[in-house]
């Protein structure tokens, strides 16, 4: 399952710190940022099941960043 999120993470250093936290919490997930996209995309893939959206959102919100899931029709692009 793949989930795509819009964030306000704009700097490489910020994304690296977030990736470290996410990888610690979700070691089986494949996670990456596209900071060149206008929505500063966070892409999260769980190859063995559903992505725990609430946990991902909470983790990023807890460190002071904005995150929201992108609408379904845009998630596959």
pLDDT per residue as tens digits for the range 26-63 = 999 999 999 999 999 999 999 999 999 999 999 999 99
On whether residue 36 sits in a domain, the answer given is yes
Q: How far apart are CA 76 and CA 8, in angstroms?
A: 21
Structural domain containing residue 49: 2-71
State the pLDDT at residue 76: 47
On whether residue 49 sits in a domain, the answer given is yes
pLDDT band at 71 (very low <50, low <70, confident <90, very high): confident
Beta-carbon contacts of 35 under 8 Å, excluding residues fewer than 6 positions away, are 9, 10, 11, 12, 15
Number of domains present in the structure of the chain: 1
CATH of the domain at 56: 3.30.70.100
């Amino acid at each position: 399952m793949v989930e795509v999120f819009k964030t306000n993470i704009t700097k490489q250093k910020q994304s690296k710190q977030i990736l470290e936290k996410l990888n610690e919490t979700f070691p089986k997930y494949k996670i990456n940022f596209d900071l060149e996209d206008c929505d500063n995309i966070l892409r999260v893939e769980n190859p063995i099941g559903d992505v725990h959206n609430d946990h991902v959102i909470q983790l990023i919100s807890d460190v002071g960043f904005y995150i929201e899931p992108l609408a379904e029709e845009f998630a596959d692009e």
